[in-house]
Structure 1
Amino acid sequence: MHLAVLGGLPRLSRAELERMHSGVSAHSDVTAVFEEASSTGPGGSSKIARVIDQLPTTDPKAIESQILDHIPAYMGEAAGKLSFGISLYGARWGGYKSFCLNAKKRLKSAGFRPRVVLGREQALSSAQVLHNGLDQSRSELIISIGSQETYIAQTYWVQDVDALSKRDIQRPCRDMETGMLPPKLARMMINLAGGSHLFDPFCGSGVVLGEAVLMGKEAVGSDINPEAVECARANLEWLEQVFATGSAPSLQVADARGVAIPSGVDAVVGEMDLGPIMTRQAPRSRLNQLADEANSLLADTLGGLQPQLSHGTPLCLAAPVWPSGEGFIRPALAAVGDNDGAIDEVGALGYNQIDIPGVRYRDLHYRRRGQYVGRQLMLLERI
């Protein structure tokens, strides 16, 4: 069994896991378990660990006693220096630091030369695990406390925050006009869709295409803006040099509403135009106008793609959503999960909504705090 530590948007991260694995179940508000491992890392989860023990208790004292008794066995044979850390999820733990120091003493008495890495509050960050090599040595213990039992797991994969930041900030062509899609969100969208040969009809600066190639997929893209296509080409060439991705995806200048899809495509992933840059909230009348314009583009694009796609082809598209008052304004079609009329309209265009067990449509939403436009992810399949 494997355990995922969900990221900053746990519900969206849970949805991604559901599309990647079978038998996913929530264990706490920020962790989930699943059966089989994957060769592709998620975009939303921060850590993946292998469950090595299950305790029939949620009592902190009993958990601490069990771990102190067994931590030498968890860490394997004593072989000199050992850097290790402990992360706690699912409940508050008042004595976290003293618990970690007691674990260090226990390891020392068992013949290890331990160095403990302490997390802020009660968990190590992805950067701490990565920079201390705890994923490689399998020496971060994750304690996930559920409603009835506790899982003990060893981290073997961690989100490479340094590489994500590098791809986001250091790519040569990056500005507000050519796209600011975060690489980890692009990766989540790719995993939500699935497939091995994807097409992005709104490629912008090439973030989706670049992440797809890094994930071992084939990818092709297009954009109506020639400057965006050149920007994507520059970024993909840089990605090939820095991350050794192999051949770069093919690109073309084309309107998404009438683009010809290359042969072999088995998934469509992309972020449509999010509208003008906003530094403050626009009047509701202006947002309604933008939503209508986005809906027209979305409908025409879906209508043009449908005859070219095979039955069952998945699509994950990011549409703009604007906060306004107590709710949100979005293109009518992007309300497919919350509105029967939108479901009918999507159906008339030749698509069904893909339902994810345990996930509500409103969970497929991404917006950073303080932003005046967010993204509603639409997960569809061609009828």
Structure 2
Amino acid sequence: MHIAQLGRQPELGLAELNQVYGRDNVVFLKDSGFALIKAPVGSSDINRLGGSIKLAEVLVKLPTANWREIERNLSRNITKYVGTIPDGKLTIGLSAHGFNIQPHTVGATSLRLKKELKKLTSSIRVVPNKSATLNTAQVIHNHLTSPSGREFIAVKDGPKTFLAITRGEQDIESYTARDQARPARDAFVGMLPPKLAQIMINLAQPSVNARILDPFCGTGVLLQEALLMGYDVYGTDLSDKMIDYSGRNLKWLHETFLTKDTYKLEQGDAMNATWSQPIDAVVCETYLGQPFSAPPSAAKLEEVRGNCNHIVSEFLRNIGSQVKPGTPLCIGIPAWRSTSGDFTHLPLISELKKLGYTQVRVSRDNLLYFRPDQVVAREILVLQKI
């Protein structure tokens, strides 16, 4: 078994895990913001999951959430949990998730574990705890997922505790490069975060070696993430400038990350374009309308909402005539947040069956991606062509 630490918006990460590993194999641990995964997990899965910060292998589930008893188990079994140390040098870290515990208490436990581990090696270093949990940068920069590093995590689940060892951590430097180091960027058209692009691809669940279409490709973020995941990609956009930007960015991606370069780009209006086949899956962020720094007036919102609803509805009608029944789609559409925190949605959500689609329920709630200061959120719909 494995556990995954979910990201800033856990409902998106949980929906992603449900799609990738199967809803019956995923259990949300509300005390800690983790999810238990009962299905097999690959060693490189962390690189494909946009909504999970950390993947850890479960060592044992303890029938207690008492820290002294947890420490006692770790001390008794730490040499077994560590296993073989290839070069005789070891760096360890310890994190406590979901516990009301002070950093110095976790640090004291780490020092006791160090004392036990001196039976294995005299060259051992402990990563100090500035908080009860180590952050991603600490795990990566101290090489705690390498053969000579170990991060042990205690994850509270009600009156019980999972003890686990971290196997993978999100590569924050790679995400930063894929977001900010690309040669062609355009803040005016909006930037789809690479992590959200990964989540959307996983929500669509394309078949292996599928060709993914993005009819609103912009600067190519979604295309680049699909290429990194091993898919063929096909991008179109109303703007010639965006096609040029996507081309430059995908060329950079190929040279930087040695991805395959099986992609096609062309100008096209998503409301009336004719796309070449095959189209195995459609994943895109559609037109989100104009940005707002504050909630708009009721009249302005109605105008923008109507315009967005028209464009997205026409796109769905158009693409629906060109894909086979059963084709998966994951699309991002706008939703507007009021000062009270309520959201206004596109009317087409209640018309999906008339448009030729069934909505795949991957979450109990609406899937919304937004920052605390954003008015225009991205609402994520997972659809299947009827």
Q: TM-score range by the shorter chain?
A: over 0.9
Separation of aligned partners in 2, 1:111 and 1:251: 56
2:346 corresponds to which of 311, 328, 331? 331
Instruction: Give me the whole-angstrom Cα distance separating, in 1, the residues matched to 2:9 and 2:129.
Output: 20
1:46 aligns to what SS in structure 2? Answer: strand
Answer whether contact 2:320 2:385 (CA < 8 A) is retained: yes
Equivalent position of 1:141 in the other structure: 152
SS of equivalent residue, structure 1 residue 361? coil
Q: Distance in 2 between matches of 1:100 and 1:246?
A: 44
Gaps of 5+ in 1: 337-341
Count of residue pairs brought into register by the alignment: 371
Match of 1:217 among 231, 240, 244: 231
Counterpart-to-counterpart distance in 2, 1:118 and 1:315:
45
Q: Distance in 1 between matches of 2:29 and 2:374?
A: 31
2:135 equivalent to 1:132? no
Q: Deviation per CA, 1:203-238: give whole Å up to 9, x if none.
A: 000000000000111111100111111111111111
Match of 2:352 in 1: 346
Structure 1: distance between partners of 2:9 and 2:28:
14
1:192 is paired with a residue whose SS is helix
What SS does the aligned partner of 2:72 have? helix
Partner of 2:260: 246
Distance 1:263 1:372, change over 3 A: same
Q: Which residue of 2 is the match for residue 296 of structure 1?
A: 310
Counterpart in the other structure of 1:339: none
Deviates more, 1:205-214 or 1:372-381: 372-381
Give the Cα separation in 1 of the matches to 2:175 and 2:327.
28
Q: CA deviation at 1:275?
A: 1.8
The Cα of 1:187 is off from its aligned counterpart by 0.7
Alignment gaps of 5+ in structure 2: none
Q: Give the Cα–Cα distance (whole angstroms) in 1 for the partners of residues 318 and 374 of structure 2.
A: 31
SS in structure 2 of the partner of residue 177 of structure 1 = helix
Change (3 A) 1:98 1:251: same
Distance 1:141 1:197 in 2: 39
Task: Quote the offset at 1:110 in angstroms.
Answer: 4.3
| 1:319 aligned residue | 333
TM-score (norm 1): 0.92
Query: Secondary structure of the residue that 1:298 maps to in structure 2?
Result: helix
Confirm or deny that 1:108 pairs with 2:107: no
AA partner of residue 176 (structure 2)? S
After TM superposition, the structure 1 = structure 2 runs for residues 202-281 of structure 1, keeping only pairs within 5 Å, are 202-281=216-295
What letter corresponds to residue 221 of structure 1 in structure 2? G
Aligned 8 A contact 1:267 1:313 in 2: yes
Report the 3-state secondary structure (helix = DSSP H, G, I; strand = E; otherwise coil) of the residue aligned with 1:375. Answer: strand
Cα distance in 1 between the residues matched to 2:231 and 2:318 = 24
Which residue number in structure 2 is paired with residue 188 of structure 1?
199
Contact conserved, 2:287 with 2:312, CA < 8 A, in 1? Answer: no
Stretch of structure 1 that moved more, 70-79 or 314-323:
70-79
- Give me the CA root mean square deviation: 1.7
Deviation at 1:104, TM superposition (A): 2.0
Report deviation, 1:368: 1.0
Aligned residues of 1:237 and 1:248 also touching (Cα < 8 A): no
Please say if residues 232 and 262 of structure 2, whose CA atoms lie closer than 8 Å, have aligned partners that are also in contact.
no
Q: Is the 8 A contact 2:78 2:113 kept in 1?
A: yes
CA distance in 2, matches of 1:232, 1:174: 9
For 2:364 and 2:314, locate their aligned partners in 1 and report how far apart those are by CA, in whole Å.
26
- 1:165 Cα offset (Å): 0.5
Deviates more, 1:236-245 or 1:28-37: 28-37
SS at match of 1:216: coil
Contact 1:179 1:205 in 2 (8 A): no
Cα offsets for 1:110-132 (capped at 9, x unmatched):
43422111344211222221222
Matched, 1:72 2:82: no
The answer as to whether partners of 1:278 and 1:372 remain within 8 angstroms in 2 is yes
SS at match of 1:380: strand
Residues 68 and 102 of structure 1 are in contact (CA less than 8 Å); yes or no, is this contact kept in structure 2? yes
Q: Which of residues 68, 88, 108 in structure 1 aligns to 2:96?
A: 88
Deviations 1:310-357 (A, max 9, x none): 222111111112211321223222xx3xxxxx1xx100111011012x
Which of 372, 376, 384 is the aligned partner of 1:373?
376
> Where does residue 161 of structure 1 map in the other structure?
172
2:35 to 32, 36, 42: 32
Match of 1:122 among 119, 132, 136: 132
Distance 1:230 1:330 in 2: 32
Which is further off, 144-153 or 195-204?
Answer: 144-153
Determine the C-alpha separation between the residues in 2 that align with 1:318 and 1:8: 18
CA shift in 2, pair 1:298/1:179, >3 Å:
same
TM-score by length of 2: 0.92
Kept in 1: contact 2:106–2:129 (CA 8 A) = no
State the 4+ residue runs in structure 1 displaced beyond 4 angstroms: none
Give me the whole-angstrom Cα distance separating, in 2, the residues matched to 1:93 and 1:70: 22
- Residue 357 of structure 2 aligns to which amino acid in structure 1? Y
Which 10-residue stretch deviates more, 192-201 or 25-34? Answer: 25-34
CA shift, 1:268, in A, is 0.7
Task: Measure, in 1, the Cα distance between the counterparts of 2:311 and 2:346.
Answer: 10
The share of aligned pairs that are identical, in percent, is 36
Question: SS of the residue aligned with 1:122?
Answer: coil
How big is the shift at 1:147?
1.6
Name the aligned partner's letter for residue 74 of structure 1.
Answer: Y
Post-superposition offset of 1:281: 3.1
Task: Return the offset for 1:77.
Answer: 3.6
CA contact (8 A) 2:96 2:153 kept: yes
